[in-house]
Chains A and B, each alone.
Chain A
Amino acid sequence: MQLDTKQRLTELSIKELLARQQLDTKPQVVERLAVADDVRELLPDSGLVRGRIVRCSGDAGLSLALSLCSLATQQGSWLGVVGVEHLGLLAAVEHGVALERTVLVHPPKTSREWSITVAAAIEGLDLLIVAVPERLSVNDARRVQTRLQSRRAVMIIVENTMLSQSRSMHGSSEAQQFLADVVLDTKTKSWSGVDRGTGYLQHRDVRIRVSGRRVTRERNYLVTRSC
């Protein structure tokens, strides 16, 4: 179904169109990108559904986002990392991300230029990991979301870790320009492997809370991740 991206779609008409879509396609063929086994159960559709937004928040957010993208990049999809400062490339490789199909983009932080950049990236890249600038306007966010749906790409929103500033509580108080379909909120409970000077960082226990528009029932998972 064709969405004219130049038209301004209001929330109401999006719902209309989605309802119409559900009526048209009888078998529930939901096109999705495969994800690795260890994160598959976290997602409500057992995969990254095309056209949807996933938010990975919390202090294990970036590594979770990399885990989500790994299998898709191995199978041929291209990944664009937009606006994420200081990405550890070795970590990406360890998660299984195919770096030969990964591009890092550093867009300007102004609302309009950021949305233009992300829209251009959506044109050719299936998967995006983005960090949303604070000043993104609601209109620009909506434009990006519409483009995402029409081009059937997947966007994963992460946060840029700020050390010296005080970190706000997850989710509620921040301005959320994008309405995420799935929100994976992570919280590291403990790290294992190190003691008083001996060992090295090996595993951590992470509590992941799954919520969002597409999630009918909020769930909590306690996962041991090796990264």
Chain B
Amino acid sequence: MPAPKRLAVLRCLDWSAVVAAKNSTTPCAVIHAQRVISRTPAAMRYGVQVGMRRRHAQALCPDIEIVAHQPSRDRTAFDAVVRVVNELVPLIEVSEPGLIVFAARGPSRYMGGDGPMALKIVEALKTSVADSHLAASLVGVAVGVGIADSRLAAQIAAHASAFASSSANLFSPYVVEPDKTNEWLAPQSVRVLSEFASINRETISLLERLGLNTLRDVCALSESILAGRFGELGVELHRLSRGDEQYPLAVVPHPPEHLCIEKFDEPVSDQQIIINSVQRMAVAFTEYYSVHGSVCVRIVISFESEAGKRSERLWYRPHGLTTSAIIENAKWQLEAWLASQISSQISSDISGYPENHALENHALENRSLENRSLENRSLENHGLVRVQLIADEVRTDTARQLRLWGGSTQTDETATQAIGRLSELLGSSAVQVAKWQGGRDILDSYQLVSATHAQTIGNANSHEQIPAQKWRGALPNPSPSVVYSEPIQVQINDQFGKLLSVSARHELSASPVSVIIGSTHYKVNSWAGPWPVEERWWDLARSRRLVRLQLVCEKITVDSVSQILAMLAILEHGEWTVAAIYS
């Protein structure tokens, strides 16, 4: 965009937790991979923080409601909010449930200023929430609007506004003066980069240890110094701290029309056909940009129905949109549009029905998005006549980016296609690849990420690191082949039947004699340990103290056959659990 733009960000704090909670007063935390990713304000008052382990959160607040992470539930519930905002602002971007970004200039001018625009939007939200009998928990959601020149600044402002609104119980938007974004950003701590700009948390803690605590300090260094130390990431850090966008925009001529518009002679109702045509276009689209050495980061997907109704939405990914990302976003948009069309149709058929059917969506939360896409849902009377992809922002494709897979050999290509097909069948969260993360916990060292979101594969370096550098405090080789993401409760008893404990000097209270898992009794043959582990004593939220024990147990089955079982047991917060089995 040639003219300097103003971005507005609307943020609903702790959306995942608020949607999952039964009502607005119970403390609730949403867990993914044993860590808290979102918690309600009620839980926050007990000291539960994001990034904490589940057991730690439960230790702080025993009554806390623990809910598993379900992205489809968050998304479906957020569709209600999106619809309301969409009525006031024609083109919006929903990057994740709880966050809406849109260009502020147009709507602001229309509604008489930044402040009045924000107030109007939030008013509309509050009225729709009150009208539509949404779940009681949503009534208490903290909404904030931030308006600034850069995306990062607007996000920080929105967060601040949401925080202030929830504590003061009165909504007030946070507007950063035009052209003052730079100065406003300067005193912010570098932690905002990991919170809002998806920079690796480890990098940020490294910055702090190097003495760079605020964005001003980062700006004070020259870009070349940061680039020398961090590579391309350093350039991004500098750009973000300045108030620029995370990446330099590239100017690439728009692709020819036949690549990005598909018009249907007959209105198409079959979802699968629409998705297939989106797939064709997405492939050609990304090809075109990669040939020009760039990648699209922001795209508008536009559907037009035969009745003349349009659905246009922005989609954004900071590192670039891959083909599968575009297809997935198109599916979400289509599903959301479908739901809104059907609900508005129902409401026009039956008078007196509430306009907003988010309550129905809540009831459907057990059926995942993936299940619904396996069925063949057709749009009656709402056939599509046109699908279009419009590139909004394009960045130069650097080596760190974007080819989803190295794709050098034919085997790699066929594998990539099969993986894409599987992701489409099952949804992106059911197909995962491993990413090296590091850590002394066997659960942590490799993280599973969805295959469609994996940025670079074929990074041979990252996998060679492992044998060379052994993590300090890690379990010795061999590692167990079955690692439970949810550790299994177990009782380890000594010869008197008393529960085993570990003294402050890391000594076992007695020799372990029996292990009871569920209703099965095992006899302990030998053991190794206890090995104490203490992590992050300085970080209250993420500190851990635990003890590891390796056990070799034996079970005599009814046929008098003995089964040997080797396991890794962990004592944390006074409870023994089985973390892994050597199978």
Contact = CB atoms under 8 A, between A and B. Distances in A.
B434 A164 contact: no
B457 A106 contact: no
A193 to B, nearest CB: 8
Interface in B155-207: none
Given A94-B477, A169-B559, A59 B433 contact: no
B121 interface: no
B526 A195 contact: yes
Contacts of A61: 583
Given A117-B422, A163-B518, A98 B463 contact: yes
Interface string A65-102: 01000000000111010000011111111100011111
A105 B422 CA distance: 8
Q: Which has the most chain B C-beta neighbours within 10 Å: A62, A87, A90?
A: A90
Given A86-B483, A196-B526, A99 B446 contact: yes
Interface stretch (A8-16, A34-42, A120-128): A120-128
Contacts of B485: 86
A194 B552 contact: yes
B230 interface: no
Contact of A204 (B419, B484, B566): B566
A113 interface: yes
B419 A91 contact: no
Interface stretch (B84-92, B125-133, B145-153, B423-431): B423-431
Given A59-B563, A99-B446, A188-B564, A94 B479 contact: yes
A124 to B, nearest CB: 2
| B-side interface mostly | mixed
A105 B478 contact: no
Given A89-B446, A125-B415, A198-B528, A104 B481 contact: no
B454 to A, nearest CB: 10
Contact of B527 (A99, A165, A197): A197
B552 A201 contact: yes
A107 interface: yes
A92 B520 CA distance: 28
Interface string B394-430: 0000000000000001011011111101100110001
Interface string A153-167: 000000001011111
Contacts of A202: 478
Contacts of A94: 477-479
A76 B406 CA distance: 12
Q: Which has the most chain A C-beta neighbours within 10 Å: B411, B478, B479?
A: B478
A189 interface: yes
A86 B466 CA distance: 20
Interface string B550-583: 1010000101010111100000000000101111
Interface in B461-495: 463, 466, 476-485, 488
21 contacts: A59-B565, A60-B583, A86-B483, A86-B485, A87-B481, A88-B580, A89-B483, A94-B477, A99-B434, A100-B459, A103-B433, A120-B421, A123-B417, A124-B414, A124-B415, A169-B561, A194-B552, A197-B529, A200-B476, A204-B566, A227-B479
5 closest residue pairs by CB, A with B: A124-B418, A164-B518, A89-B446, A227-B478, A78-B415
